[in-house]
Amino acid sequence: ENSALSSTLLNLVQGCGAVIACRVSPLQKAQLVRLVREGASPAPVTLSVGDGANDVPMIQEAQVGVGIAGREGRQAVNNSDFAIGQFSHIQRLLLVHGRWNYRRACKFTLFTFWRNAFQVLMIFYYTFCCGFSGTVLFEDWIRLSFNFLCSFPIMATGCFDQDLMDTTALQNPSTYIFGREGRDLRVGTILESLILAVLHSLLLACILA
């Protein structure tokens, strides 16, 4: 609870490759996770792995909790985001499935930004052509159909996209840095999607004009 000691401990922890805490209570495990989560800079994404009831507070405190189903019961599994059968499976969970799902979610989100911005910009341009009379460019069913039809290609990407084979991802752990540093979904990539929406909508408006 002492802020000065907590700051000293955090500085010490950040300079270490690994830290081993012995004879730690469940509450202290959660406090260690909270200390790193709230104090470290840049802000990290914390993950806790546990296999018993004494690991539940730590799992709940982290942003991502992984429970291991084992001899100590299923309390950790029931309170976790993901469950695995053995600790060795954590490597594939992070480097393969975690990486794939992060990149899929980012592509899906960026496409959604582009699609909505493209549609709204077309309506915005039309207001100048109709003299701000309030005339609608698209009927409601057309707008809904556009969103519906444009959902299919990105749904396939969001479910099945694999930019790297699983063996390649396992052999090159450095590729995990995309998710750890949030490279695929940040201000720059969002602005890029919006700029593309502006360019594509202007091109279509010029063709239709």
pLDDT in tens, 122-181: 888 888 888 777 777 777 788 788 888 888 888 888 889 999 999 999 999 999 988 888
Q: Which pairing describes strands 47-50 and 64-68: parallel, antiparallel, or unpaired?
A: parallel
Q: What's the mean pLDDT when you consider all of the chain?
A: 89
Q: Are 66 and 51 in contact (CB under 8 A)?
A: no
Higher pLDDT, 90 or 142: 90
CA–CA distances in Å: residue 106 to residues 28, 93, 117, 182: 35, 18, 17, 9
The reported pLDDT for the residue numbered 136 is 77
Token digits of residue 49? 């792995």
In whole angstroms, give the CA distance from residue 99 to residue 102: 5
The reported pLDDT for the residue numbered 150 is 84
Instruction: Point out the least confidently predicted range of 74-78, 81-85, 127-131, 170-174.
Output: 127-131
Q: Which residue has the tokens 């499976």?
A: 89
